[in-house]
Structure 1
Amino acid sequence: MEITELETAGEEKVRFFSRLCRWLKALLGKLSTKVVKVVKSIIKLGQDDPRRVIHSLKVALALTLVSILYYWRVLFDGIGIAGIWAVITVVVVFEFTVGATLSKGLNRGFATFIAGALGLGATHIASLFGVKGEPIVLGIFVFLLAAASTFSRFFPRIKARYDYGVLIFILTFSMVTVSGYHVEGILEMSNERLLTIAIGGGTCMIISAFVCPVWAGEDLHKLISSNIENLANYLEGFGGEYFPLPKDGKSAGIVSKSKESFLQGYKSVLNSKSSEESLANFARWEPGHGRFKFRHPWKQYLKIGALARQCAYQIETLNGHINSDVQVPPEFLQIIQDSCKTMSIESGKALKALAVAIKTMEEPKDAREHLENSKTAVKDLKIALKAASLETADILAIVPAATVASILVEIVKGVEKISKSVHELSELAHFKKAVECTVSQEKPLLLHRGSVNPVLLDGEDAHVIITVGETNIGSQENEINPQAPKGPKPREEAKIWLKLLYCKSSTQELKQHALLIADRP
């Protein structure tokens, strides 16, 4: 019995350890899977935008530099415990873009200075009311300024550009007034705090602007160009997919799954409003850099972005008619197909030309032609619908296709508005002028009556030398028209040198010689 019990206990221990090993193995497998997943996400995050890695290194560099205020004994003895405000300033102020860093740094600096000055003034005024009246007066000052500052944050302009500064103003004023009531030497403490904040903010702004800078204005420029290009890709793809050629063997309104994913790029435009507004706000704080000079028209980018979103919402409606269950009658489809396809494709080409113009900062030169083609297609559609007989058509069956045509007409109008806004941007931002190279067929220079008009100053004599080279006009005519009758072969080379002494009284003589030259065969 004892042997049996020992064997049973041994088997239970073996089973327990085997279960424990399986559990540990499964746990390690799950942990390794999660670790690999996290590492892959980190690598992907860095590969998507390498500037994020550089930004992390820049923040670490700024923190290391301001920490010297603590590590170096000489600086610590001069500043003291107030050096912690430099570290706090770096953590709070340093942002991804130069504009955001400048915005927070300047807001924090000016708000600290103004609030500190007002706090010292309020403390001095409150001290005039004696020991009993001083806390009451300080409480009144804190209440009034806190209420007024908080209410000012509801103004849209202040909310957009100075919200952080108002918060720092309230915080600093309250701290100075409270500290001034109990702490001696409040002036020295305020000076040290202001100095350390200036050191921290200056370190952030210098590193952000001069070490691999990330400009908010440049990001806004690329974002607007990318959004317009996404709309262009959709319209170009929609025209060929929704209205296929007869040889493709596809039904109208049916888009394949592979192409349907390609037509989803416009959705990024719908949710870009907040990004555009924040980038435009930060871009106003940035100095001139690269192609973007001081006082660059950033507001015009917001206008173009708003028009692009309106066009994207129309495309969203248009996208709802893809793969519809209602079959369009072939007769009606034949009426609108060519015009709608032209509207869609030409509008897409116009938007793509506008996107390229914004990206390269050159005046849009090709967009006008594509826009005119799309407007011509709108006129052709109206003419075709007026000429068509739709009395016997099924109204419910043609409604989806008619809706698509109507939306495309509205999209053409939206593209025209975007084109006007881009032209305005090119004028405000002084885009490069588009150089149009035109090649014209050379024509023989003929000398006609009155074509020689020498201009001389009064009282001056001049010798005019006219050289006439005889050209083989007959050979040129034979090249153009081989069947033309061949005239007598002119001399291969003939030059006539005329030297005229031209003065005020010899104008008529010069005209006579010119007429003789012009009439010479």
Structure 2
Amino acid sequence: MGSTVIPIPDGDQGFADLKEKRKFQVSLSPIVSFVQKNKDSIKKIIHCIKVGTALVLVSLVYFVDRLYKEIGDDNAMWAIMTVVVIFEFHAGATLGKGFYRGIGTVLGGGLGCIAAILGEQVGGIGNPFIVGVSLFIFGGAATYARLIPNIKKRYDYGVMIFILTFNLVSVSGIREENVMEIARERLVMIVMGFAICICTSLFFFPTWASDEIHNSMVSKFEDLASSIEGCVEEYFRLVGDKENQSVHPIASFRNCVSVLNSKAKDESLVNFAKWEPWHGKFGLFHPWEKYQKIGEVLRELAATILSLKGSLNSSKEPLQALRVSIKEPCEAAGSSLAWTLRELGESIKKMRRCQSEPFIVPRLKLARQGLSQVMSPFKLGKLDTAEGLAIACFVFSLMELAEKLEGLAKEVEELGELAGFNRS
């Protein structure tokens, strides 16, 4: 039989290689830590680089002599203006503003050309009269439309571009003869600037609003769960720990306040996400409206948790025995509420369907039943003091949280069905 010789590396050499590898990993750890802690700052720097790149590309209209002579100074400026006004931080925002700018430019330019041609046909003193009347009618009507809340919320930028383009084109027609040619060249420059913005925004480290709203929603579940746990734990601390509690409080309401103030940001991110193309785990028709509804329920939960702050600030010395008697069911309820929030957040994070009826709703109902038994008629008779009312308020707030969580579980379940989440 033949024999196989297996080379064995020198022990010192292998140890040296392992040591070198560990040294390399250790040297990279500060860089990885820095990137994780400064993700937002790095994204902002990348966005600034992309905007600068887009401005350089669109300025080639000025650098290339042949193209500059054909387009002209006045028309070339429109490409640069387009990049400056529509390039946004999120890719969806850039697409949305670009679309509205295009619609506003086409409508405003078309109507402006009609007004200019009509005034030119009338001629004489009738030319500025026709243009002036057109400016008054269309400008006033568009301005009134901007004051309508629904239009202002979603289409304000497009209406503003319509007013600007209509005025520029119609007024230019009074002095210029080839109005249609000017409008065509400016439209080409706007399309060029829009194309450069889209390519730079989508193909070079894109910042997706869909990822941000998704991750933000998941973090809110964890924040509220931690706040509930902190509230319950702090509420049932011993009286002797009250001094330490004032120095090192467990319950933190900062996250709840952040959730309450997130409505405007969530609405903006959802609107931007609707414009984004298919990418990663999000399809073209992802139900972003559901994220808004879930966000509303989370804000209601945050407001209820903040109402517990008054109970935490109340004196613990009176009715201490009653507080001890309700400790176990309240802690069990708080644990169930926190578990439910984390379970719902995990289902959204991993994009798996949440089955609320067989798993979550029964647990919440059990928690509510335990809390309702705590508030028996015998114990309610003792709640005729300020401390007693604070205890009742605390228990009823926990019951209200459980009720709201049942509705939240159904909303998350509907999100999974509409978005086609995987079954767990």
TM-score (normalised: structure 2): 0.86
The superposition leaves residues 410-469 of structure 1 with CA deviations (integer Å, 9 ceiling, x where unpaired) of 1111111111100010000011101xxxxxxxxxxxxxxxxxxxxxxxxxxxxxxxxxxx
Aligned residue identity for 2:128: P
Aligned residue in 2 for 1:272: 262
Matches within 5 A, 1:151-300: 151-244=144-237, 250=241, 255-260=245-250, 262-300=252-290
Aligned residue identity for 1:426: G
Matches within 5 A, 1:443-454: none
Pair 1:62 & 2:39 matched: no
Aligned residue in 1 for 2:423: 433
Q: Write the distance in 1 (CA, Å) between the matches of 2:317 and 2:244.
A: 10
3-state SS in 1 of match to 2:286: coil
Aligned residue identity for 2:192: I
Aligned residue in 2 for 1:475: none
Contact between 2:227 and 2:251, CA under 8 Å: does it hold in 1? no
Q: Write the distance in 1 (CA, Å) between the matches of 2:254 and 2:353.
A: 29
Q: Write the distance in 2 (CA, Å) between the matches of 1:157 and 1:368.
A: 40
Pair 1:76 & 2:62 matched: no
Q: Write the distance in 2 (CA, Å) between the matches of 1:80 and 1:298.
A: 44
Going from structure 1 to structure 2, the CA distance change for 1:131 and 1:393 (only over 3 Å counts) comes to closer
How far did residue 365 of structure 1 move?
Answer: 5.1
3-state SS in 2 of match to 1:320: helix
Contact between 2:226 and 2:338, CA under 8 Å: does it hold in 1? yes
When structure 1 is superposed on structure 2, of 69-78 and 256-265 the one drifting more is 256-265
Contact between 2:231 and 2:251, CA under 8 Å: does it hold in 1? no
Aligned residue in 2 for 1:102: 95
Contact between 1:351 and 1:367, CA under 8 Å: does it hold in 2? no
Instruction: Give 1:350's match in structure 2, choosing from 334, 340, 345.
Output: 340
How far did residue 191 of structure 1 move?
Answer: 1.4
Going from structure 1 to structure 2, the CA distance change for 1:328 and 1:419 (only over 3 Å counts) comes to farther
The superposition leaves residues 19-39 of structure 1 with CA deviations (integer Å, 9 ceiling, x where unpaired) of xxxxxxxxxxxxxxxxxxxxx
Q: Which has the larger radius of gyration?
A: 1
Aligned residue identity for 1:53: I
The CA RMSD over aligned residues, in Å, is 2.4
Q: Write the distance in 2 (CA, Å) between the matches of 1:112 and 1:45.
A: 42
Going from structure 1 to structure 2, the CA distance change for 1:390 and 1:411 (only over 3 Å counts) comes to closer
3-state SS in 1 of match to 2:125: helix
Q: Write the distance in 2 (CA, Å) between the matches of 1:45 and 1:121.
A: 56
Aligned residue identity for 1:346: S
Contact between 1:346 and 1:371, CA under 8 Å: does it hold in 2? no
Aligned residue in 2 for 1:315: 305
The superposition leaves residues 57-104 of structure 1 with CA deviations (integer Å, 9 ceiling, x where unpaired) of 100100000011001112111211111111111111100001100011
The superposition leaves residues 97-126 of structure 1 with CA deviations (integer Å, 9 ceiling, x where unpaired) of 011000111111221122111111111122
Instruction: Give 1:141's match in structure 2, choosing from 115, 121, 134.
Output: 134
Q: Write the distance in 2 (CA, Å) between the matches of 1:282 and 1:332.
A: 52
The superposition leaves residues 185-222 of structure 1 with CA deviations (integer Å, 9 ceiling, x where unpaired) of 22222111111111011100111111111111121111
Aligned residue in 1 for 2:399: 409
How far did residue 256 of structure 1 move?
Answer: 4.9
The superposition leaves residues 237-260 of structure 1 with CA deviations (integer Å, 9 ceiling, x where unpaired) of 22222224x7x9646x98454344
Aligned residue identity for 1:179: S
Contact between 2:135 and 2:167, CA under 8 Å: does it hold in 1? yes
Q: Write the distance in 2 (CA, Å) between the matches of 1:370 and 1:241.
A: 26
Contact between 1:216 and 1:282, CA under 8 Å: does it hold in 2? yes
Going from structure 1 to structure 2, the CA distance change for 1:367 and 1:92 (only over 3 Å counts) comes to farther
Contact between 2:367 and 2:402, CA under 8 Å: does it hold in 1? no
How far did residue 350 of structure 1 move?
Answer: 0.4
Greater fraction of residues in helix: 2
Q: Write the distance in 2 (CA, Å) between the matches of 1:173 and 1:389.
A: 73
Contact between 1:346 and 1:370, CA under 8 Å: does it hold in 2? no
Going from structure 1 to structure 2, the CA distance change for 1:166 and 1:74 (only over 3 Å counts) comes to same
Instruction: Give 1:327's match in structure 2, choosing from 309, 317, 326.
Output: 317
Aligned residue identity for 2:60: I
Q: Write the distance in 2 (CA, Å) between the matches of 1:97 and 1:159.
A: 20
Q: Runs ≥4 in structure 1, deviation > 6 angstroms?
A: none
TM-score (normalised: structure 1): 0.70
Q: Write the distance in 1 (CA, Å) between the matches of 2:320 and 2:361.
A: 28
